[in-house]
Amino acid sequence: MTFREKIIEKYINQGIEEFDSNPLAPAFLRRLAKESPDVFFSVAMKQLRANENSNALRFLTIALMRRDEVTTYVADPAVASREVAQRIFNRFLAIDPSFDVKLARRLPDRGYINHADAFDTAHSTRALDVLDSTSRGRRLLPILGHLPNAADSQIAAKATLFVGKRVQSPAWAAKLLSRPDERLRANAVEALWGLDSSPAVRLLEDCTKDRHNRVMGNALVGLHIVGHRSVDQELRSLARAVSPDYRSTAAWAMGKLGQGTWLEPLTAMVRDEHPQVRSMALRSLVALRREEKPAPQVVSVNNAEAMAEIETAVIEEAEEILMTPVPELRLDGSSFSARR
């Protein structure tokens, strides 16, 4: 950034800070937006990342609404985390209820008309993540419904979860289970979570015998969610499997379902010989800790010792885990099929 740009940035930030107290601030910001649009965009988008609301932030959102770069910024995993991207997206959606449609239309279309300008893989998968978390109902299916058949396997897998969660059809999911991509197949199963019907339960039961750990794990979680199966013993058995992929699946599922009874096996897996298993177990333990509610009764000695072991394990393993690359692993653990 040049010296002039730094000065402009300082003035923009001052205008934002004084927005409510200085009646000249809105006009001053409009002038800077017109005279230095690129600097204004950069500074304003940084401001919109904040986890707060104000008149100034609403002003910035409106000022940037017509900029084509907005959708690219929201969908760029290099400039913001998914949580921040969702926050920014929601700001624009609150001003423009069709903003989800605008973002969806940046993905590869059905007729190959926009493919020269459409989002690449990284931007498309992030956009699908954001839309899945923020855009409710089926309104985007006419725009994105073809993407489970996309040639790009990553886009197809993400789109399978997006479309499947809105269709929630066992018949539709069954067709996708014949595909070779395990991520896509696992997402087709995850899309059925919460659907309590005989066809859905039968399909999930069949998928517990799947050859791939992701598909099997998602099926077990799905059955547990609708109350048709207790998976405690199966997950404990998986936690002792020879394959680290299956042990990692067990750790993920325990954290996803969040039962305190899995504290002991997860604590043991934090010391697993395989870094992927250790990492997933640690993340699941952190998730369990976050979900804990203060209880009036006295914590048992065994549980107190177990929690102390977790704290020690976190300290001992943190550096190693952070330095060890784990394929497709994210901190929130909100989607099994896309984050392991």
pLDDT for res 84: 96
Helix axes 82-95, 55-64, angle to 10 degrees: 80
Of 116, 118, 129, 115, the residue nearest 74 (C-alpha): 129
For 274, other C-beta atoms within 10 Å of its C-beta total 15
What's 299's DSSP letter? P
pLDDT for res 292: 61
Percentage of the chain exceeding pLDDT 70: 85
Contact 71, 102 (CB under 8 A): yes
Tell me the backbone φ, ψ of residue 122, rounded to 5 degrees: -60, -45
The C-alpha atoms of residue 153 and residue 155 are separated, in whole angstroms, by 6
What average pLDDT score do residues 321-325 get? 38
pLDDT for res 230: 82
pTM of the model: 0.79
pLDDT at 337 over 90: no
Contact 308, 270 (CB under 8 A): no
At 107, list the tokens.
């993905």
- The better pLDDT of the pair 316, 335 is held by 316
What average pLDDT score do residues 308-332 get? 40
What average pLDDT score do residues 51-80 get? 95
The C-alpha atoms of residue 168 and residue 174 are separated, in whole angstroms, by 11
pLDDT tens column, 4-52:
889 999 999 999 999 999 999 999 999 999 999 999 999 999 999 999 9
15: CB partners within 8 A, 6+ apart:
22, 25, 28, 29, 32
Q: Using alpha carbons only, give the angle 81, 85, 90 rounded to the nearest 5 degrees.
A: 150
- Return the H-helix or E-strand segment holding 229: none
The C-alpha atoms of residue 45 and residue 31 are separated, in whole angstroms, by 17
The C-alpha atoms of residue 205 and residue 192 are separated, in whole angstroms, by 12
- Return the H-helix or E-strand segment holding 177: none
The C-alpha atoms of residue 162 and residue 274 are separated, in whole angstroms, by 32
- Domain positions in the chain are 232-291+300-340
Of 245, 283, 241, the residue nearest 266 (C-alpha): 283
Q: Any idea which fold 232-291+300-340 has? A: Leucine-rich Repeat Variant (1.25.10)
